[in-house]
Structure 1
């Protein structure tokens, strides 16, 4: 119980969820459980055998983690609308925000709002509700060449 809290130990500074279409292998490159991480200012560190460990301070606050999906487009239909389909196996009091090619964009292209009360991670994956979202992406947000669906951000909703 509580292994999800070790995420910050495994990925100290950057989130590991970068998946490149056509290069990455979903069987080994896609982390199946996007958990939040304890807030950096609420962690304390200790070292044993030259390995740094981080533990949450008692206030139990968390910050969101991000996913990036990178893909290449050879050609864009400039008058077209593209569809992004997001399927989630579970959610627990989170908000998912999607941005395309601009991680600092003030407003996300799409936001789920607060969703879920499944607590599946803590219940060993047996109680999740399936969520499916279809997001229209205007061609003007995409470029010929490399694109990134960025900040698929799971953040604890307040």
Structure 2
């Protein structure tokens, strides 16, 4: 489930594809189940990459201090490198769904009882923290993608 599409108009398809391949470490398993955390920085590598017949998925390489951030996977369709799509990693998507369901159920229960439950505030705060961390990760991924697309070698 993709939440954003970003079109690239100023670069050629070949340049985009070569930069993506150049600045990614290749992996052979799905990135939904792969940890991208490392203490050792690879020079000029921004993403882990997984390629199949139809698409290339990228996951930003992170430091262990960034483990709490929800993970965003960047997907390029092999037939069209002029746009990429963003989606949450599986565990991040499950967390988002569970937090949202908890918030909705607590809100419905509070409306039925005519008063806010005592844990409603904490559920709202946890949701807001998750959304804030998701926004931070989005900005970091966007910055790395801009660096990748404008890479000059």
TM-score band w.r.t. shorter chain: under 0.3
More helix as a share of residues: 2
Structure of higher CA gyration radius = 2
| TM-score calculated relative to the size of structure 1 | 0.23
More strand as a share of residues: 1
